Structure 1
């Protein structure tokens, strides 16, 4: 407080007039210091004011920019906003429509594929007239004669074991498959269903659980050949195997493969006498395709290298 009173007294002109010489010298020092402090204060105040002004200008500029952007966005959402909203909705609708279209096409593709397979299965097992049989046999005979191999006629009987339903569809399909021009007739073999019971082999459609009754080596999972019995597993006949389907096959083609493969054993061939020659090539008919493809493509007919009969 004493220092403050001294400063106030030094700045008071009336008090200064009454001071002694020594007191006036001290008062002058106080005035100079005070003047310097005031000048410094003014300088600081001016710099602060300039800085505040600059900040205000920048903030105002940013505010104006933001406001303009907001107006622009509002305009886009209002005038253009409607158009943007419509664009978003249109894009979403196109994406939804595209997805639905793809799903529909996929579904239609599967349906068409299933329809084609069903059609092939019906064609395989369709009723055979005498005219149909003669036409198929005549074609098989021509293919066998042109094969360069001796023509061999095989007579077979058709039988069932267990609960497998009607044998007629199976018998009709087997006759068509065995005499197909792409199959064993290319090796010189022609097949006729026996009418008098004299058979070179029996073609049996067996309930899966009955397979081991032919031999302990016959599995409930697959088809089998034992002596003169060529046994087709009914589960495989009706459903194929998943690995075959996953590799691009279908049930109609599997039925062709399994009959040609098992009858191939009766003609003297053994399992896997030749195997997959390389990735993406056709699997040999006698490869156990129900169990493994080894990178090969599914194949239901004998390869050129398999066109022989023992």
Structure 2
């Protein structure tokens, strides 16, 4: 029983292996058939593509030859007239369409670029305006000051004919006054000037004193005749120190109460370290007039209404006032718009007063 059962099992296993081998053969056959069918299909498709490409190429070439022939006057006679007309019309319209398209593209690009530029410019302007609104008060003040200065410069440059005429007349008048002060003095005129000074001094009610002064120069100051004539006329003017009882005569040598010196600015401090190269000075018996101030006056005083003739008169009276016992700023400005005291340092400050070259009533004294 046991041996018979084993034989049956062996037979069954042999039949199974035979069935599996047959299935494998059928599968391989089917796979080969599929691959062959695929190869044939791909070959057919390739042939179709090749034939289609060749056909399309032939059609394009034929069409191109037809167009070229239609556009060629010599060859177009071999074509139908209507066909030639249609071809030529199509080519012309196509060319026009291409040109129109190109122009449209160029215009569109230009418009876009222009709009972009305007947008950038607008953005820049807005940024600038925003920056302005964020300026500090000091920056605004600076801008306002600069604008004011520019306006003042423009107004000084762009003068009306009337302003030019007035300025010219003022310059001519100042020149005439300067020349009149410096003009030569005859003996007769000198006596007349002295007589008026004596009369004023005697009528002042003050003790009368005659002072003798000398004239000198320091450095390259040129001839002193005009300077000496101006000093004589100013000191003996009835509006000046004669109202305090003082009269003046020009002397020589050592017989002088004080010396009026015209000095180059660079030598001012040789008289005393307290003197300045910018201004005039009095040291002991020397009344020193700064040559720079003598020739040009000083800006703030001139701008406040003075001129060179008046400045020369003021500086002589002021410095000689020191020789008579007065000191700087012993009397100050009494109020805006009023004449400045003679002994106020008008070259440095007016304090609201107007320029003045003559001693005020409360300055009419001598020590």
Note whether the superposition's TM-score is higher than 0.5. yes
- In the alignment, the residues of structure 2 paired with residue 196 and residue 137 of structure 1 have an alpha-carbon distance, to the nearest angstrom, of 21
Q: Corresponding residue for 1:187?
A: 244
Q: Corresponding residue for 1:79?
A: none
Q: Corresponding residue for 2:350?
A: 293
- In the alignment, the residues of structure 2 paired with residue 276 and residue 180 of structure 1 have an alpha-carbon distance, to the nearest angstrom, of 24
Q: Corresponding residue for 2:323?
A: 266
Describe how 1:55-134 pairs up with structure 2 within 5 A. 103-134=160-191
Describe how 1:227-238 pairs up with structure 2 within 5 A. 227-238=284-295
1:282 equivalent to 2:332? Answer no
- In the alignment, the residues of structure 2 paired with residue 225 and residue 172 of structure 1 have an alpha-carbon distance, to the nearest angstrom, of 20
1:160 equivalent to 2:230? Answer no
Q: CA deviation at 1:197?
A: 3.9
Q: Corresponding residue for 1:144?
A: 201
Higher helix share: 2
Contact 2:214 2:260 in 1 (8 A): yes
- In the alignment, the residues of structure 2 paired with residue 168 and residue 209 of structure 1 have an alpha-carbon distance, to the nearest angstrom, of 22
Secondary structure at the residue paired with 2:237?
Answer: coil
Q: Deviations over 1:78-131 (max 9, x none)?
A: xxxxxxxxxxxxxxxxxxxxxxx9711111100000000000000000000000
Q: Corresponding residue for 1:256?
A: 313
Query: Taking structure 2 as the reference length, what is the TM-score of the superposition?
Result: 0.56
- In the alignment, the residues of structure 1 paired with residue 285 and residue 253 of structure 2 have an alpha-carbon distance, to the nearest angstrom, of 17
Q: Corresponding residue for 1:309?
A: 366
Q: Corresponding residue for 1:206?
A: 263
Query: Taking structure 1 as the reference length, what is the TM-score of the superposition?
Result: 0.67
Q: Corresponding residue for 1:170?
A: 227
Contact 2:214 2:253 in 1 (8 A): no
Unaligned regions of 5+ residues in structure 2, if any? 1-157
- In the alignment, the residues of structure 2 paired with residue 133 and residue 195 of structure 1 have an alpha-carbon distance, to the nearest angstrom, of 16
CA-based RMSD: 1.1
Structure of higher CA gyration radius:
2
Secondary structure at the residue paired with 1:209?
Answer: helix
Contact 2:214 2:256 in 1 (8 A): yes
Secondary structure at the residue paired with 1:230?
Answer: strand
Unaligned regions of 5+ residues in structure 1, if any? 1-100
- In the alignment, the residues of structure 2 paired with residue 153 and residue 196 of structure 1 have an alpha-carbon distance, to the nearest angstrom, of 17
Secondary structure at the residue paired with 1:203?
Answer: strand
- In the alignment, the residues of structure 1 paired with residue 343 and residue 326 of structure 2 have an alpha-carbon distance, to the nearest angstrom, of 7
Aligned length: 210
The structure 1 segments of at least 4 consecutive aligned residues displaced by more than 6 Å after TM superposition are none
Q: CA deviation at 1:206?
A: 0.3
Secondary structure at the residue paired with 1:192?
Answer: strand
Q: Deviations over 1:225-260 (max 9, x none)?
A: 000000000000000000001101001000000000
